[in-house]
Copies of this chain bind each other. A is one copy, B any other.
Amino acid sequence: MSEFKAAVAEQQFVLEHIVNLAELGVDDDIIEAVLSGAGEFAAGEWAPLARIGDTEGPRWSPEGVTMPKGYREAYQAYVAGGWGTIGSPEAHGGQGMPFALSAAVLETLGTANMGFALAPTLTVGAIEALAHHGSPEQQALYLPKLATGEWTGTMNLTEPQAGSDVGALRSTATPRGDGTFSIKGTKIFISFGDHDMADNIVHLVLARTPDAPAGTKGLSLFLVPKYRLDADGNPGAPNDVRVVSIEHKMGLHASPTCVLAFGEEGGCIGELIGPEFGGIRAMFTMMNNARLNVGLQGVQVAEAATQRALAFARERIQSPRASAPGAGSVAIVEHPDVRRMLLRMRAQTQAARALVYLACGQVDRANAGDAEAKLRLDLLTPLAKSHATDLGNEVASIGVQVHGGMGYIEETGAAQHFRDARITPIYEGTNGIQAADLVGRKLGLDNGGAFQRLIADMRADVSDPLLRDLITGCEDIARNLLAADMDDRLAASTPFQTMLSVAVCGWLMAREHAVAESGTTPFLRAKASVTRFYLEQIVPEALGLAAAASAPAARLYELDAETLAA
Could you tell me if B318 and A164 are in contact, using CB atoms closer than 8 angstroms? Answer: yes
Within 8 A of B (CB), among A321-343: 321-323, 329, 331, 333-343
Could you tell me if A393 and B404 are in contact, using CB atoms closer than 8 angstroms? Answer: no
From A176-184, A349-357, A429-437, A443-451, the one touching the partner chain is: A429-437
* Bound complex: CA A523 to CA B158 (Å): 38
How does the 8 Å CB contact mask read for A290-316 relative to B, with 1 for contact and 0 for none?
A: 000000000000000001001101100
Is A165 positioned at the interface, with any CB of B under 8 Å from its CB? yes
Could you tell me if B540 and A546 are in contact, using CB atoms closer than 8 angstroms? Answer: yes
* Bound complex: CA A289 to CA B144 (Å): 65
Is A151 positioned at the interface, with any CB of B under 8 Å from its CB? no
* Bound complex: CA A255 to CA B459 (Å): 53
* Bound complex: CA A526 to CA B405 (Å): 38
Min distance, Cβ A163 to any Cβ of chain B, angstroms? 5
Min distance, Cβ A54 to any Cβ of chain B, angstroms? 11
Residues in chain B near residue A546, CB distance under 8 A: 540
Could you tell me if B556 and A339 are in contact, using CB atoms closer than 8 angstroms? Answer: yes
Is A407 positioned at the interface, with any CB of B under 8 Å from its CB? yes
Within 8 A of B (CB), among A67-125: none
* Bound complex: CA A556 to CA B408 (Å): 26
From A134-142, A244-252, A260-268, the one touching the partner chain is: A244-252
How does the 8 Å CB contact mask read for A541-566 relative to B, with 1 for contact and 0 for none?
A: 11111111001010111110111111
Is A533 positioned at the interface, with any CB of B under 8 Å from its CB? yes
* Bound complex: CA A322 to CA B489 (Å): 10
Q: What is the total number of residues of chain A having a CB less than 8 Å from a CB of chain B?
A: 104
Is A522 positioned at the interface, with any CB of B under 8 Å from its CB? yes
Contacting residue for A163 out of B318, B422, B545, B562, CB 8 A:
B318
Q: Which residue of B lies closest to A405 (CB)?
A: B189
Min distance, Cβ A503 to any Cβ of chain B, angstroms? 13
Given known contacts A311-B565, A407-B426, A490-B337, A540 and B544 CB-to-CB distance under 8 angstroms: yes
Min distance, Cβ A443 to any Cβ of chain B, angstroms? 14
How does the 8 Å CB contact mask read for A506-547 relative to B, with 1 for contact and 0 for none?
A: 000000000000000011011001001100110011111111
Contacts A249-B408, A337-B436 given; 19 further ones with Cβ under 8 A? A163-B406, A165-B319, A247-B408, A247-B409, A248-B409, A248-B411, A251-B408, A310-B564, A334-B561, A335-B432, A338-B432, A343-B556, A400-B422, A525-B559, A526-B559, A526-B563, A540-B548, A541-B544, A541-B547
